[in-house]
Chains A and B, each alone.
Chain A
């Protein structure tokens, strides 16, 4: 992950904290993260904000092991061990990349049902960067 300054992070808090996406008023496509040019119709149209539910399934995943974590996640890897990073296919359609939490990497599988949880993602510039991770939905 590249360095994100405090103001840059702040600007994206609605999408990072509560999955605020944008819905294209012309074709109805849900864009996450929100964007000016719709990924569905390719036009610069009007959008309305929509909050995604945070339910989905694992589309693909990888495992970050010792030495493989970017600097802001190296302490997490050192103290907590390997962790999963997944491409999540959300119920509403969009895909997003997020860390998996409250589970071992060995538990992960494609199509596993997951839900978003609000967690500390990392710290930078002495500031806690909160955001969403995903955990397996256990029966």
Chain B
């Protein structure tokens, strides 16, 4: 059975910190091409962000939460190491108590993995409509340059078989064993990486080259047949570098590059990029989305936009609306908001 995306929605927290604040505090700001990034308020986490993006996705899908038969939640920064987050999200949406739940994590690829699982759940006939939310507020030590780029945000999608706004044309995935790249040991609070930029970049390029070239080959498509190409966004440059190597042009990539305004939103990053693209895409447009998770793996997905997208678009806020609603904070306030200073 055919399935596709029937609703989408994003959420970006209100607070922002500019790169200049890091320059004042540390004399450097490591992520290339990032001007400012989003910061969660003291009362926000990956779960609360997903609730708002999910409300937006349900509005666009035009369905009630009690029609859902599955909820997939993806995050590397879920508030509990053990306890479902999806159940909290379903309860807050006043969703049904008879529903399949799945929480995914462990890598920034969890978002696309959850989206694909949610699409397969519906196409298998297990349910008519299902919800997927990817949300992250990753954390590293304030003294680690890796911390500079970490932002926050969430993206949700409703999948179904009727009134599809973007249908899946093809999927291709990759797996490589890479050690000592971005990681966090069990029970630790802070992300780490090897600090070797070239090593990380090589792993990223390798995993994405396998998934994306494999996808293009299986669909017999060329890079220029895609209106948009969305990649995992750790900073404002890496996606352009890999895109160029794979034959994509800057104007295919730039509309999804929300990382320059919100920072690295982990498992949500390519999916917030997808929301930004769906905000402007036209019927018939082909969209490539390629995620990356350290360790490592990549999911490449080809989506085709349908006529249905346009009429659902204005039922919820656009990504650019969230980007425009902002309040700047200084570095000291940032440390307190992220509980890196003064928390007991």
A80 to B334, CA, bound (A): 10
Q: A75-B344, A101-B41, A102-B14 are in contact. Are A130 and B48 (CB under 8 A)?
A: yes
Residues of A within 8 A of B47 (CB): 130
Chain B positions 273-326 with a Cβ under 8 Å from a chain A Cβ: 325
State the Cβ distance, A83 to closest chain B Cβ, in Å. 9
C-beta contact mask, B4-24 vs A, less than 8 Å → 1, else 0? 000000000010000000000
Residues of A in contact (CB 8 Å), total 22
Residues of B within 8 A of A118 (CB): 48, 51-52, 92
Residues of B in contact (CB 8 Å), total 25
CB distance B42 to A79 under 8 Å?
yes
| Contact of A18 (CB < 8 Å), options: B41, B42, B92, B327 | B92
Residues of B within 8 A of A76 (CB): 42-43
Chain B contact residues: helix, strand, loop or mixed: loop
| Contact of A79 (CB < 8 Å), options: B52, B79, B325, B342 | B342
| Contact of B91 (CB < 8 Å), options: A17, A119, A133 | A17
Residues of A within 8 A of B337 (CB): 79-80
A103 to B336, CA, bound (A): 17
- Which residue of the partner chain A has the closest CB to B324? A138
Q: A119-B43, A130-B48 are in contact. Are A79 and B94 (CB under 8 A)?
A: no
C-beta contact mask, B329-344 vs A, less than 8 Å → 1, else 0? 0000000110100111
CB distance B336 to A79 under 8 Å?
yes
| Contact of A120 (CB < 8 Å), options: B14, B48, B327 | B48
- Which residue of the partner chain B has the closest CB to A121? B43
CB distance A130 to B92 under 8 Å?
yes
A18 to B42, CA, bound (A): 21
Residues of A within 8 A of B327 (CB): 102
B44 an interface residue at 8 Å Cβ cutoff? Answer: yes
| Contact of A78 (CB < 8 Å), options: B45, B48, B52, B342 | B342
- Which residue of the partner chain A has the closest CB to B15? A102
CB distance A138 to B336 under 8 Å?
no
- Which residue of the partner chain A has the closest CB to B54? A118
11 contacts between A and B (CB under 8 A): A76-B42, A78-B342, A79-B42, A79-B336, A80-B336, A102-B327, A117-B48, A118-B48, A119-B41, A120-B48, A130-B47
